[in-house]
């Protein structure tokens, strides 16, 4: 359960605003858009990936206190572990390959059957 950046109390993860202090937690009143907020003494741009590589076009840059695009530059942009395929060997590896390339296997079987029919 996340905490409010202003009053440090626990709030529901889908809450649009803090029920204790009224601080806005989600952007545009939508529970799916996270609104990142800086503390009173810092700015978000100081530690943002998009500010560092100069791809940010946010109008409040470099003095943004709230942002929907913020990404901490100390964290990787993409978690590499979720894209690496499982390490299978032997028959399990062949079954995994068949399940991920089902369409290719079906097309290859159709071509082989049609060649056999044409030859005979």
> What confidence score (pLDDT) does residue 82 get?
67
pLDDT tens, residue by residue, 22-64: 888 888 777 778 888 887 788 989 889 888 888 888 888 888 8
Q: Is this model's pTM higher than 0.85 or not?
A: no
> What confidence score (pLDDT) does residue 22 get?
85
pLDDT tens, residue by residue, 70-92: 888 888 877 766 666 667 788 88
> What confidence score (pLDDT) does residue 85 get?
66
Secondary structure of 6-71 in HEC code, one letter for each residue: CCCCECCCCCCECCCCCCECEHHHCCCCECEECCCCCCHHHHEHHHHCCCCCCCCCCCCCEECCCC
Domain ranges of the chain: 85-119
Q: Decide: 37 and 48 in contact? Cβ < 8 Å.
A: no
> What confidence score (pLDDT) does residue 23 get?
83
């Amino acid at each position: 359960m996340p905490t409010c950046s202003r009053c440090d109390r626990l709030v529901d993860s889908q809450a649009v605003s803090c029920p204790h202090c009224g601080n806005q937690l989600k952007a545009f009143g939508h529970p799916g858009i996270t609104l990142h907020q800086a503390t009173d003494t810092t700015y978000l741009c100081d530690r943002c990936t998009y500010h560092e590589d100069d791809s940010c076009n946010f109008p409040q840059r470099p003095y943004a206190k709230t942002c929907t695009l913020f990404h901490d530059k100390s964290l990787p942009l993409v978690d590499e572990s979720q894209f690496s395929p499982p390490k299978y060997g032997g028959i399990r590896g062949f079954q995994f390959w068949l399940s991920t390339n089902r369409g290719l296997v079906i097309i290859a079987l159709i071509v082989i059957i049609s060649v056999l029919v044409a030859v005979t």
